[in-house]
Amino acid sequence: MLPTFMHPNEVLDGAMISGSFMPCSSKWSTYDFQNLPMIRRLYKEHGKTINFLGVIMSNLNVALEQKERAALFVAQMAKSLGADSAVVAEEGYGNPDADFTGCIVALENAGIKTVGLTNECTGRDGASQPLVSLDEKEDAIVSCGNVSTLIRLPKMETVLGELEALARDGLSGGWSNDEILGASVKEDGSIIMENNAMFCGDQVVGWSVREW
């Protein structure tokens, strides 16, 4: 698959559906795509402060040459559309960081000022490198949180599913035992886990307490 130009309405009308899996905090649900706050915010400014040209969807590749090709395609499309600036939002982290960085660098090299939206993977102490791939041209990044932040959840009266699956199934963010923290699922039914395990928890798409 190559990067594809889309009318914003196509995204909001359901052209994209979630392919989410672990680590789930940085993933986007189908609801996110169909109500994407960043698109709605850009629409709100269209004809006032900006000229919203559209959306370019790019898949996350595995091979380096495919990553480089996709980034160049994104920059070529944006330049052909006459874009002066762009917002790049990353789904996932780790391997996708290389796609994220490559896309921003290609856009900047094309003379398009670019802002990136992503989460970070800085470890529980927040001291590790935030992204796997970094570049000097990534000088405008909005952080949407740390995937390793610890979350404590109290016991719930009603549980749908099986809490023990948090550790047993190898879901990112949960564990069967930790030398310091013990098990993710406590005997009293409370939970301690990394933000990794909170589905769509980082809200890279732009959700916040603010009304759009």
pLDDT for 212 beyond 60 = no
pLDDT for 211 beyond 60 = no
Q: Which residues contact 84 (CB under 8 A, 6 or more apart)?
A: 112, 113
Q: What integer pLDDT is reported at residue 21 of this predicted model?
A: 67
Q: With beta carbons less than 8 A apart as the criterion, state whether 56 and 78 touch.
A: yes
Element (H, E) at 116: strand 113-120
- Work out the average pLDDT over 167-174: 78
pLDDT for 157 beyond 90 = yes
Q: What integer pLDDT is reported at residue 22 of this predicted model?
A: 64
Token digits of residue 106:
């290609």
For residues 24 and 169, give the distance between their C-alpha atoms in angstroms, rounded to a whole number: 13
Query: Average model confidence (pLDDT) for the chain?
Result: 90
Q: What percent of the chain clears pLDDT 70, i.e. is strictly above it?
A: 96
Q: What integer pLDDT is reported at residue 4 of this predicted model?
A: 96
pLDDT for 201 beyond 90 = no
pLDDT for 20 beyond 80 = no
- Work out the average pLDDT over 172-198: 90
pTM of this structure: 0.89
Q: How confident is the model at residue 166 (pLDDT cuts 50, 70, 90)?
A: confident
